[in-house]
Structure 1
């Protein structure tokens, strides 16, 4: 719970442009563009690295660190 709250707080800080307590898909896309485009993965904000890494692990069904058509 605490980890998710921290993740939300960091995402909201970067992406909740109108400060209404919600992040739309458009706000999220803009935040990713602002914070990540032209940068190395290691330089991304921690919250975006967490989201990207978690997504990859979800897609990498067999856990071998490679995503293939069979997954």
Structure 2
């Protein structure tokens, strides 16, 4: 199992310590391919796509409109 976390580098130029999960581009339980965009996260005025680091089945942890911090767990991927 692997974890999908928000890269702390996305906050490099941000003054706000948190972001928000805007939407999931895939449904919970779906199979995804490494590099495929699976979620959108807003940090300040910027919208960032989050990609799957590996292939697997997505289990969403952070729901849409959830407030997230740098390094927060968004989802897990299993075989």
Alignment TM-score > 0.5, same fold: no
* Bigger radius of gyration: 1
Question: So what's the TM-score if we normalise by structure 2?
Answer: 0.23
Larger RCO, structure (CA 8 Å, separation 6 or more): 2
Q: If each structure's strand is expressed as a fraction of its own residues, which one has the higher value?
A: 2
Q: If each structure's helix is expressed as a fraction of its own residues, which one has the higher value?
A: 1
Question: So what's the TM-score if we normalise by structure 1?
Answer: 0.25
